[in-house]
Structure 1
Amino acid sequence: MIFTPLEQFAIVSLIPIRLGNFYLSFTNSSLYLLLSTGLVVILFYLVTQNGGFLVPSRWQSGVEMIYEFVVSLVNEQIGKKGRFAFPLIFTTFTFLLFTNLIGMIPYSFTATSHLVVTFGLSLSLFIGVTLVGFQVHGLHFFSFLLPKGAPLVLAPLLVVLELVSYCFRAVSLGVRLFANMMAGHTLVKILSGFAWTMLSVGGSLAVASVIPFTIVFALTGLEIGVACLQAYVFTILTCIYLNDAINLH
């Protein structure tokens, strides 16, 4: 039983593992991350084996829609120079999409509601994008710290501001996903608990509980949309940051 709205985010150790001072237990978060990855791999393997079918099934049509969506996203945001990053962008989008949607199943766990997961992913992508920038431009990549046409007198201040702004991308990218997923799930839990309490009391309150229950169902549909939207926002921002690193915008 879950007694508080925040208890749904609790990390539970399923297989305790300790190596000296290191705590490496297999938790419920690890389980759902592995489950999301496994479902993506299995689904994509089943619909693409033997080249797929001439008349695609619903699952194959869904996978093809995701593929075409990410292809258009990469082409529009990065262009031909960014096609090498398509596997990374495609994997990131599908992983976040499935992880967010699995978290919408009742009594499941939302791994992306934890900052350590989202920030770890955003920091990894930030480091990768920065390395791509240095690989493409070398030390000239530092020129993005000073906007074109800026007065040299303001150069020290602008360089610091641009550097802080650039580094903050890793934080904002992870915090945005974590905050939206956690806030939405918490709100749904609070309202559903309130509605269940009204129903349990009985009488006129049981009749009035129809209102919060209706709101809960509406919010659940909204949360499903937010789950898809946050996967899209995370992915498109990654594409924008990669475009900036390649083209020095």
Structure 2
Amino acid sequence: MNMLTSPFEQFQIISIIPLSIGNFNISFTNSSLFMLIVVAAISGLFVFSLYEATLIPREWQSVAELSYLFILGLIREQIGDAGYKYLPLIFTTFMFLLTSNLLGMIPYTFTVTSHIIVTFGLALSIFIGIQIVAGIHHGWHFFSFFLPQGAPLALAPFLVLIEIMSYTFRVFSLAIRLFANMMSGHTLLKILAGFSWTMLSVGGFLYVLSVVPLLIIFALTGLELAIAFLQAYVFTILVCIYLNDSIHLH
């Protein structure tokens, strides 16, 4: 397939600054670049919004404060008072995912959350952190989480195995859900854009019909913007739920 017309061209990792240590490739890529842009955009937003903050918030100050209150409310509902100490982690995760998803909607940019290695790395690191939190709160007693109360002792080995598999699958669930939604949506938009361009190039009656995929693209773009927020929200709320389980052993 010609990569110039491939809908998967937008997901290609391009090395900007080639670097390697032995057999390990640690090159600075377009994915790395856009991660830095996302971090810079978030930092710039809050510095600009909260610089010389006023009692009556201005437009951008309201955006910063509302995003903070949104995550604060989410933590209060899902974890309770014990979750407030994890606000920096949860808030940063939400803002990074939301900004990455929205930035990827701009033409000729790169969506870092459309790569499974990024979403899996983020999900795995958070999952490991949650296990550390569980160990701090409960020690060895945390393993009772994998054996439901009142379960017959004879079924314990099977139940524990099933619970452990279900528990570890949380990492893949977090990673795959975000990656699959972002990749499939961007691919569909690129395919429809290709259809529209081909019909415009052919001319004639197809030139008139090319407006159909264009209208679908506009509708899907609105849907993709909603999905960009929804996927960041779902990822964040699941992290809160898993963190709540590790703290309260629900």
Pairwise same-fold verdict (TM > 0.5): yes
- Give 1:77's aligned residue: 78
Give runs of aligned pairs for residues 96-175 of structure 1, distance below 5 A: 96-175=97-176
Q: Secondary structure at the match of 1:14?
A: strand
Cα distance in 2 for partners of 1:154, 1:18 equals 51
Alignment of 1:8 onto 2:15 = no
Q: Secondary structure at the match of 2:51?
A: helix
- Give 1:246's aligned residue: 247
In the alignment, residue 234 of structure 1 is paired with which amino acid?
Answer: F
Over the aligned positions, Cα root-mean-square deviation in angstroms equals 1.0
- Give 1:216's aligned residue: 217
- Give 1:202's aligned residue: 203
Preserved contact between residue 2 and residue 8 of structure 1 (Cα < 8 Å): no
- Give 2:49's aligned residue: 47
- Give 1:37's aligned residue: 39
Q: Give the TM-score normalised by the residue count of structure 2.
A: 0.97
Give the Å deviation of 1:55: 3.1
Cα distance in 2 for partners of 1:207, 1:54 equals 54
- Give 2:62's aligned residue: 61
Q: Secondary structure at the match of 2:107?
A: coil
In the alignment, residue 241 of structure 1 is paired with which amino acid?
Answer: Y
Cα distance in 2 for partners of 1:207, 1:40 equals 42
Deviations 1:13-47 (A, max 9, x none): 01111222221110000000110011101111121
Cα distance in 1 for partners of 2:25, 2:137 equals 39
Q: Secondary structure at the match of 2:8?
A: helix
Cα distance in 2 for partners of 1:54, 1:82 equals 27
Q: Percent identity?
A: 60
Deviations 1:124-143 (A, max 9, x none): 00000111011000100000
- Give 2:184's aligned residue: 183
Q: Secondary structure at the match of 1:107?
A: coil
Cα distance in 2 for partners of 1:83, 1:143 equals 25
Cα distance in 2 for partners of 1:53, 1:22 equals 50
Q: Give the TM-score normalised by the residue count of structure 1.
A: 0.97
Q: Secondary structure at the match of 1:245?
A: helix
Deviations 1:51-108 (A, max 9, x none): x123322211111111111000000000001111111100000010000000000010
- Give 2:95's aligned residue: 94
Q: Which runs of 4+ in 1 moved over 4 A?
A: none
In the alignment, residue 26 of structure 1 is paired with which amino acid?
Answer: F
Q: Secondary structure at the match of 2:16?
A: strand
Bigger shift: residues 137-146 or 14-23: 14-23
Alignment length, in residue pairs? 248
Cα distance in 2 for partners of 1:26, 1:17 equals 7
Preserved contact between residue 50 and residue 64 of structure 2 (Cα < 8 Å): no
Bigger shift: residues 165-174 or 16-25: 16-25
Q: Secondary structure at the match of 1:5?
A: coil
In the alignment, residue 57 of structure 1 is paired with which amino acid?
Answer: R
In the alignment, residue 21 of structure 1 is paired with which amino acid?
Answer: N
Cα distance in 1 for partners of 2:190, 2:124 equals 30
